[in-house]
Structure 1
Amino acid sequence: MDSPTRPDNRDPTPENDVESTILDLTSCQLRDLDSVELPPSLTELDLTANRLTALDPRISQLSNLKKLSLRQNVLNDDGVLPLSTWHSISALQELVLRDNQLKKIPDVSIFKMLLVFDVSFNEIFSLNGLSKASNTLKELYVSKNEVTKMEEIEHFHELEILELGSNKLRVMENLQNLMSLEELWLGRNRIRAINLCGLRCIKKLSLQSNRLTSMTGLEECVALEELYLSHNGIAKMEGLSTLANLRVLDVSSNKITEINDIENLAKLEDLWLNDNQIASLDNIAEAVASSKENLTTIYLERNPCASSSAYISTLRQIFPNIQQIDSEMFA
């Protein structure tokens, strides 16, 4: 899809001609930067949503540059190749190559202070090359590619966010060294079993739209605050009783027949159980005994129990502070 046209009043030059440190050229339909001045003082350069096929060599001289976004251009592997030799910008902290035409992980070994690296929405088949990336990395995004194996990530001891959703992963592996990891996003893969390799620090975990049939494997993840397991083949709620910090639980669109193993989760605020096979509301008060006061949102639509004429009134009676039942909001 073509990028939106650049507004007529948008001049592709920095706002402050002398001391400008941020240059935002988003959606300017630029095919090159020939008409653009690049002040040496720049610390951030945003070239999102243009038509660049190559990198302007002048970028290599921006020794103060900390953030470079090349999101949504038409850069291929050869187009980003010069990055691996641009030592003058080796202090770069954020590199965004999201939504281009890359087929492999680019060589970013010179960036020894890199904190954020984003190559999502490309055509990357393997994580080969990540072993060269700096162990300073805190956020890594490789979603919507063709990756089949979790590899070359073991040295990322400082990593806090790992996004590998919408790939072709079958196994959760090589996570054991990621002791700082707080968010793991693995939705839309082909994963059949939960294996967090002993990690206990994760606060947000998404395994939506995989091939899970069991929830076991979460028992030691006591820091978990948000858990997303919708659109799998899970038949039983289990392995949840130790997750005392859980605030959001989404197990919608599974094969669950009963609400189990959450009676001690006092911090639970959002509970998504829609599109399952829960027959009755008879035991729901006991099932969520500890969280009745805190629960503000519950989804149970498209379960047999939701067909009862007293469905809404029963839930409102059980949960005194409820604000939303399915799509219906309450003051």
Structure 2
Amino acid sequence: MEAPVEKEKEHERTAHIDIVDDRPSPQVDGEPSPSLKDSKGWDGKLRIPKSALMTNPEALSDPEYSDDSNVLHGEEIRADENLLDSEASDTEEIMVSHSRIASIPALRLERFKNVARICLRQNVIQDIESLDSLADTLEDLDLYDNLIGHIRGLDSLTKLTSLDLSFNKIKHIKHINHLKELKELFLVANKISKIEGLEGLDNLRSLELGSNRIREIQNLDSLKNLEELWLAKNKITDLTGLGGLPKLRLLSIQSNRIRDLSPLKEVPGLEELYIAHNALESLEGIENNINLKTLEISNNQITSLKGVGPLKDLEEVWASYNQIADFADVERELKDKEDLTTVYFEGNPLQLRGPALYRNKVRLALPQVKQIDATFVRV
């Protein structure tokens, strides 16, 4: 199972500079989470293609390699000067990543009258400025991985539907609640300690706040259309605060400090729950979430699947590295789930005690399942 990934938009005219994204794959406590391996929630929108090629790959393996001896000499220009001079004035998309851009005004974006998307990832921009001239057309602004400390300069950009400020230095969520058309907001890996400043974002569908310093789920009641909430790798101890989200269908709250699932009764429409790497010892309290299809509970201290009995729509259960020891418990709680296709139990006592027979025992207990851990058992 793979979480949904943002589809790339293609345009004929694009200012594009190829780069290499050497950021590690999304991980939780050092271990990749298979169910979220492509999650935009962990790493912004993951727009940088992993297939990008290095211009000089030998630099990685040859200690004698020298950039100085391999330079093609030409006219030297400042990092953010004249970068877009060859771009057509009617382009709809500007993409300039990893180019040491320090100043948005230096790009002279006012030249472009039809720009709907700007991506200036992995630069050294400190201030959001000089975008007012694009207010009539700009819908998608991506400033992922820069040096931005404050959310400013968005006052006129009321047509924005997507804003990505992940991997910056932002401490407070401010000056965005006038963006009434915003559907996606990405603030992954900043220094945010409080959820605030979101009132008025009536059309917001996805909010990503993973890898911050948040301790409490709060101030979300106004987001009546929110469908996805990503809060992995914070310091949250309690699931209360979700009651005002009637359309929430996906909650990612991995790598926090959750012990009690009972507050999830406030979001009965939940379809996907990712709660690996927490402090769960029991699944009791999840009984009311009868619409759940995906349940990711790996790397906790859960001893029994008791609680999932009423969840008749389950399709995938990821429960690796817990303390589940009883095949009878697995059969009792999951055998009646007709749509169940995938289960993960590796690293539990029921697998560690008899690894040679483990997979056959799971097949006997759950004959409807097509995949056990990473192995497909039937098509």
TM over 0.5: yes
Most deviating of 137-146 and 222-231: 222-231
Query: CA–CA distance in 1 between the matches of 2:101 and 2:349?
Result: 53
The corresponding residue for 1:24 is 16
Report the alpha carbon displacement of residue 219 of structure 1 after superposing the two structures with TM. 1.3
Report the alpha carbon displacement of residue 21 of structure 1 after superposing the two structures with TM. 4.3
Pairs within 5 Å for 1:318-329:
318-329=365-376
Which residues of structure 2 form unaligned runs of 5+? 1-10, 21-54, 56-77
Report the alpha carbon displacement of residue 57 of structure 1 after superposing the two structures with TM. 4.6
Query: CA–CA distance in 1 between the matches of 2:349 and 2:116?
Result: 54
The corresponding residue for 1:189 is 234
Question: Does 1:317 find its partner at 2:364?
Answer: yes
Query: CA–CA distance in 1 between the matches of 2:164 and 2:151?
Result: 10
Query: CA–CA distance in 2 between the matches of 1:104 and 1:177?
Result: 23
Which residues of structure 1 form unaligned runs of 5+? 1-15
Query: CA–CA distance in 2 between the matches of 1:198 and 1:88?
Result: 34
The corresponding residue for 2:112 is 62
Tell me which stretches of 4 or more aligned residues in structure 1 moved more than 6 Å: none
Most deviating of 195-204 and 49-58: 49-58
> Does the aligned pair in 2 maintain the 1:264–1:289 contact within 8 Å?
no
1:43 pairs with one of 92, 107, 112: 92
Scaled by the length of structure 2, what TM-score is found? 0.76
Pairs within 5 Å for 1:165-204:
165-194=210-239, 195-204=241-250
Amino acid at match of 1:294: D
> Does the aligned pair in 2 maintain the 1:49–1:71 contact within 8 Å?
yes
User: Which structure exhibits the higher relative contact order, with contacts defined as CA atoms closer than 8 Å and separated by 6 or more residues?
Assistant: 2
Report the alpha carbon displacement of residue 66 of structure 1 after superposing the two structures with TM. 0.8
Residue-pair matches, total? 307
Amino acid at match of 1:45: I
1:216 pairs with one of 247, 253, 262: 262
1:123 pairs with one of 152, 169, 175: 169
Amino acid at match of 2:117: K
The corresponding residue for 1:153 is 198
Scaled by the length of structure 1, what TM-score is found? 0.86
Pairs within 5 Å for 1:231-242:
231-242=277-288
The corresponding residue for 1:3 is none
Q: Deviations over 1:279-330 (max 9, x none)?
A: 2112222212431x32221111222222343422121012223232223332
Query: CA–CA distance in 1 between the matches of 2:343 and 2:213?
Result: 32
RMSD: 2.1
Query: CA–CA distance in 2 between the matches of 1:23 and 1:52?
Result: 14
Question: Does 1:81 find its partner at 2:81?
Answer: no
Q: SS of 2:364's equivalent?
A: helix
Q: SS of 2:130's equivalent?
A: helix
Q: Deviations over 1:188-211 (max 9, x none)?
A: 000010121331211111000001
Question: Does 1:228 find its partner at 2:278?
Answer: no
The corresponding residue for 1:143 is 188
Query: CA–CA distance in 1 between the matches of 2:193 and 2:184?
Result: 20
The corresponding residue for 1:283 is 329
Most deviating of 64-73 and 320-329: 320-329
> Does the aligned pair in 1 maintain the 2:335–2:366 contact within 8 Å?
no
CA 1:330–1:289 in 2, change beyond 3 Å: closer, same or farther? closer
Query: CA–CA distance in 2 between the matches of 1:249 and 1:284?
Result: 14
> Does the aligned pair in 1 maintain the 2:135–2:158 contact within 8 Å?
no
2:351 pairs with one of 306, 319, 323: 306
Report the alpha carbon displacement of residue 258 of structure 1 after superposing the two structures with TM. 1.0
The corresponding residue for 2:52 is none
Q: Deviations over 1:132-180 (max 9, x none)?
A: x412100000000110000001211100000000000000011111111
